[in-house]
Amino acid sequence: MSARDVLPGLMLLGLLALAPLVASNAALNFLLSSLIVALAAQGWNLLGGYAGQLSFGHAAFFGTGAYATAILQLRYGVNAWAGLAIGVALGALVGWAIGFLSFRARLRGSYFALVTLAFAEVLRILANAFDLTGGAAGLLIRMAPGAANLQFPSRATFLWLVLAVVAAVLLLTAWIAGGRLGARLVAVRENEDAARALGVDALRTKLGAIALSGAITAAAGCLYAQNFLYLDANIAYGTWISVEVLIACVLGGSGTVLGPVIGALALHGAGEAAKIALAGIAGPVPGIDLVLFGALLILAVAFLPQGVMGGLRRAARGLAR
Amino acid sequence: MFPPALIAEAAVNGLLAGAAYALVALGLTLVYGVLHIVNFAHGALLTCAMFAAWGLHAAFGLDPYLSIPPLAVAFFGLGYALQRWVIGPSSHGDDGNTLLVTLGLSIVLENALLAVFRSDTRSLGGDAGFDVVEVGPMLLSYPRLVGFAVALVTAALLWALLSATDTGRAIRAVAKEKLGAQLVGIDPRHVYAVTFGLGCACLAIAACLLLPTFYVNPRVGNAFVLVAFTIVVLGGMGSIPGALLGGLFVGVVESLGGLFLGDSLGQLGIFVIFILVLLFRPTGLFGPRA
Amino acid sequence: MSLLKAEGLSRRFGGLLAVDNASLSVPEGGLVGLIGPNGAGKTTLFSLLSGFLAPSTGRVTFDGADVTAEAPHRRAARGMARTFQIVQPFAGLSVRDNIAVGAYLRHAGRAEATRLAEAVATEVGLAPMLNAQASSLTVAGRKRLELARALATEPRLLLLDEVLAGLNPSEVRDIIPVIRAIRGRGVAILMIEHVMQAVMNLCDHVHVLSGGRMIAAGPPREVCADPMVIEAYLGHGAAARIAAGGAHA
């Protein structure tokens, strides 16, 4: 792993850790939700960015993590930290299972995108219908501030926790990207047959990617549940999260270490700015941030290969010349 | 257990509803068969078409069936422009990019409609949507019968266009052998755009047929998009008869599923079929074996 | 003892029998050629040997083990590496990283894999290009990259599918010593080749495939004089005409 990839990211996260000193509560809430999406996007990045398997259904993992923590606490009295660990493990398991079924059937490209979307929708419909998940009414986690319950009286503490997790995943991603697994993921993305000829077990590599990806995105779901203390099927398994993590990665630079974090912050920042700007003129307009997200996705694909990170790299190379 | 007559009626009504699905799927499969891309914006474009048909009715009292010709032409133009100047150039010829661009387009369209029309649900009003025709022991919905007939006619016209006109020949040439078509002077960008336009025209027709029995809101297309994908995969990606048969089949499954499982789980059947077909017969029920 | 042995391999595509009861063997450290007219089924046979296609009938053994049903990556782990006739570089990666993917097969650490990648690059003459993007290489460069990636897996047997095709004569001249040096290290090679000069120069044994069947095998000079082989390339009656022409001269 090279320091050049990680240091700017760690510095950025360190800077954000100082936010509670200056920022309002509303700003901290905004930062928290952006960072949770960033974490989920870091998960997407391993599968969609490095391994090149575009998933349209990462809500399947996010929701599994969120529901696992909530249900374990509410129905079985499990400690929230243990719930987090189990949620992450379940995310990996769901990822592995979806991967096993679809990669064994040799689904790739659009077919893989569609099948992941369908899996997420199935989970959403089920969560909406069954009592275990609270049905359409959703689940309310009891408010019980205390470190043991993974709830904190101050926003700042939770922000620092989320920042620490994002930083840990950043280091993990850099470590993977610089080593054998990273090389194999990219090889499978670029040319699966050539990779197989060089001794890469493509199925196992992709399964590793989707399990890891599912675990990380599930962790984001767990933290989401602990932060907002409320869930329903359209939040946990809704298409919004599948779409936001994908756009964050593409915008920030999919297949780069720092891309998902930069992308998520930029995306949410732009969305918030658009909402505020328009609210001044026309009052609150629903969906306007999403119009912007969609437009940014198209523009990033059209003009920014490898997203903001790729653009920065090209600019740096241009300056060096 | 339900009496057989009720089941038969549900099955026939499902078959009729399936015709509209088939029409939506027809556009999708045509675009896939020629451009080899999955158009994720299909659902959002359908929503746009339904809003357009609703708007013509609300503003000028135009019957949705009479809106078919102008809307089909307008959506052909819209589809042509989108593919030629937005989707095509921004994808740089990469399938993954096309998927992302059409996804972006669907997000933009859906939420732009949300920003303008808000999330209220609208319908034509009146009770023309509830007209029924008595056929033997069964009561069949009149608008659905019309929809069934128009869908069949549209599919036949599309078939004729593809097999008997120069445009159709160019489309088939590009679908089969892009480079070869280019060498004999066909511009694939134009053909792609025409095909995409035809797909959107199918959507406009479907929208006009759906409107009398359905409602419209900015997210209504979502209900159709996965159903349409299911149909297309079921019928074999790119196959027109497959889309038609798949559409009718899915209509029946959905109607019977709703009858037996109730509405909340009735949708589940579609997704389960979709996943199973993708996993076990990705070339479709009627396509060649993998 | 032969390192690679194929016995009675057949592969059917619908009504077409692309490979029909073909057998061949490559001895430990040997350099064997596989020639034949276009469409003879050479690349299909390679896919059967390397595991990218399953044979309809027949058996492949490598180093005494039956590998007929094994996936390509397992065969690579056993020491069988192949190149592709249509080069398949990892376009978005540098030359170094391309080769490292092969090197990672037997070296888990980045430092070791990179070191091996650089050594292999030097061996095939790609050292000056290590930092270049694979997509920026010329045809000759890409062919060398195919070779380097396969070599980085430290194989005991290399299956080379037309590594010389598309190269100009001076490029062919440059790469022949590279192949000879690889063989000199004890790596057995089975090569599909159209450049006959190279086959005559390099191989100790040649198999000829025509219409999916093995029609001849032996030392290169003998095989080239075989009337069956001449007819396979030049058409029915060609051997007799050439013999008659030779008698007149």
- A198–C76 C-beta distance less than 8 A: yes
A178 touches chain C (CB under 8 A): yes
B255 CA: distance to closest CA in chain A (Å): 17
* CATH architecture assignment, domain C2-89+156-248: 3-Layer(aba) Sandwich (3.40)
Between CA C240 and CA B168 the distance in angstroms is: 53
CA dihedral for A153, A157, A158, A161, sign (positive or negative): negative
Burial B167-201 (b: 16+ CB within 10 A, else e): ebebbbbbbeebeebeeeebebeebbbbbbbbbbb
Taking only the tens place, the pLDDT of each residue in B99-125 is: 999 999 999 999 999 999 987 888 877
CA distances from B175 to A242, B87, B91 (A): 32, 18, 18
A175 touches chain C (CB under 8 A): no
Q: Which residues pair with C12 in a beta bridge?
A: C17
Listed ranges B278-282, C17-21, C100-104, C216-220; the one with the highest mean pLDDT? C100-104
Between CA A97 and CA A211 the distance in angstroms is: 8
Side chain identity, residue A66: A
- Is residue A194 within 8 A of residue C84, CB to CB? The reply is yes
B90 to chain A: which residues are within 8 Å by CB?
Answer: 298-299, 301-303
The per-residue pLDDT for C42 is 92
Neighbouring C-beta atoms of residue C186, cutoff 10 Å: 9
Mean pLDDT of C42-54: 94
The separation between the first and the last C-alpha atoms of chain C, rounded to the nearest angstrom, is 44
Q: Record the pTM.
A: 0.91
Chain A, nearest residue to B237 by Cα: A111
Residues 6+ apart with CB under 8 A from A54: A48, A109, A112, A113, A246, B96, B99, B100
* Domains by residue range for chain A, with CATH: 3-320 (1.10.3470)
How many inter-chain contacts (A to B, CB under 8 Å) are there? 125
Taking only the tens place, the pLDDT of each residue in B191-207 is: 999 999 999 999 999 99
Q: Check whether C40 has a pLDDT greater than 60.
A: yes
Neighbouring C-beta atoms of residue C165, cutoff 10 Å: 15
Side chain identity, residue B246: G
Q: Which of A50, A198, A203 to mutate to test the interface with C (most CBs of C within 10 A)?
A: A198
Picking from A241-245, B129-133, C66-70, C113-117, which range would have the lowest pLDDT averaged per residue?
A: B129-133
In chain B, % of residues over pLDDT 70: 93
In chain C, % of residues over pLDDT 90: 69
- Scanning A187-226 for CB atoms below 8 A from C yields 187, 190-191, 193-202
The per-residue pLDDT for A207 is 98
Q: Check whether B217 has a pLDDT greater than 80.
A: yes
Q: Check whether A279 has a pLDDT greater than 50.
A: yes
- B91–A287 C-beta distance less than 8 A: no
The per-residue pLDDT for B234 is 83
Chain A, nearest residue to B273 by Cα: A118
Query: Can you tell me the ipTM of this complex?
Result: 0.90
The per-residue pLDDT for B185 is 86
The per-residue pLDDT for B270 is 78
Give C123's pLDDT tier (boundaries 50, 70, 90). Answer: very high
Looking from the CA of C174 toward its CB, the CA atoms found within 13 Å total 13
Helix (H) or strand (E) holding B246: helix B240-261
Q: Which residues pair with C13 in a beta bridge?
A: C16
Between CA A6 and CA C112 the distance in angstroms is: 22
Q: Which of C74, C75, C90, C159 to mutate to test the interface with A (most CBs of A within 10 A)?
A: C90
Neighbouring C-beta atoms of residue A21, cutoff 10 Å: 7
- A287–B111 C-beta distance less than 8 A: yes
The per-residue pLDDT for A153 is 83
Q: Check whether B21 has a pLDDT greater than 80.
A: yes
- In the block, residue with structure tokens 């912007």: A292
Residue B23 CB burial class (10 angstroms; 0-12, 13-18, ≥19):
buried
Neighbouring C-beta atoms of residue A110, cutoff 10 Å: 23
Both structure tokens of B125: 């009003």
Between CA C64 and CA C48 the distance in angstroms is: 17
Could you say which of B91, B100, B114 has the minimum Cβ distance to residue A250?
Answer: B100
The per-residue pLDDT for B94 is 86
Considering only the C-alpha atoms of chain C, give the largest distance between any 2 of them, rounded to a whole number of Å: 67
C192 backbone dihedrals φ, ψ, rounded to 5°: -85, 130
> Is A174 in a helix, a strand, or coil?
helix
Q: How many residues does chain A have?
A: 321
- Scanning B124-183 for CB atoms below 8 A from A yields none
Between CA C228 and CA C165 the distance in angstroms is: 24
The C-alpha torsion from B180 through B183 and B186 to B192, rounded to 10°, is 50
Strands C157-161 and C205-210: unpaired
Listed ranges A22-36, A196-210, B13-27, C220-234; the one with the highest mean pLDDT? A196-210
The separation between the first and the last C-alpha atoms of chain A, rounded to the nearest angstrom, is 25
Residues 6+ apart with CB under 8 A from B1: none
User: How is chain C split into domains, by residue range?
Assistant: 2-89+156-248
- In SS3 terms, C35-77 reads as ECCCCCCHHHHHHHHHCCCCCCEEEEEECCEECCCCCHHHHHH
Give B282's pLDDT tier (boundaries 50, 70, 90). Answer: low
- Alpha helices (runs of H) in chain A, residue ranges in sequence order: 3-17, 19-22, 25-44, 59-76, 80-104, 109-129, 155-177, 180-190, 192-197, 202-228, 233-236, 239-252, 259-282, 288-303, 307-320
Looking from the CA of C71 toward its CB, the CA atoms found within 13 Å total 12
Q: Check whether A231 has a pLDDT greater than 90.
A: yes
Between CA B248 and CA B258 the distance in angstroms is: 15
Mean pLDDT of C233-245: 76
Express the helix, strand and coil content of chain B in percent, nearest 5 each.
75, 5, 20
Give B290's pLDDT tier (boundaries 50, 70, 90). Answer: very low
In chain A, % of residues over pLDDT 70: 99
The per-residue pLDDT for A293 is 94
- Is residue A258 within 8 A of residue A252, CB to CB? The reply is yes
Could you say which of B86, B101, B268 has the minimum Cβ distance to residue A125?
Answer: B268
Task: Calculate helix-pair angle for B220-235, B240-261, nearest 10 degrees.
Answer: 120
Residues 6+ apart with CB under 8 A from C53: C11, C44, C47
Q: Which residues pair with B126 in a beta bridge?
A: none
- A197–C72 C-beta distance less than 8 A: yes
Give B4's pLDDT tier (boundaries 50, 70, 90). Answer: confident
Listed ranges B38-42, B164-168, B237-241, C111-115; the one with the highest mean pLDDT? C111-115
Residues 6+ apart with CB under 8 A from C163: C83, C143, C146, C147, C175, C179, C191, C193
The per-residue pLDDT for B278 is 84
Q: Check whether C182 has a pLDDT greater than 70.
A: yes
- Alpha helices (runs of H) in C20-168, residue ranges in sequence order: 42-50, 72-78, 95-103, 110-124, 139-152
- A119–B275 C-beta distance less than 8 A: yes
C71 CA: distance to closest CA in chain A (Å): 8
A197 to chain C: which residues are within 8 Å by CB?
Answer: 50, 52, 72, 76, 81-84, 150
C189 CA: distance to closest CA in chain A (Å): 16
Between CA B38 and CA B125 the distance in angstroms is: 35
The per-residue pLDDT for B6 is 80
Touch between C and B (at least 3 CB pairs under 8 Å): no
* Domains by residue range for chain B, with CATH: 4-280 (1.10.3470)
Between CA A106 and CA A206 the distance in angstroms is: 11
- A294–B265 C-beta distance less than 8 A: no
Taking only the tens place, the pLDDT of each residue in C148-176 is: 999 999 999 999 999 988 888 888 888 89
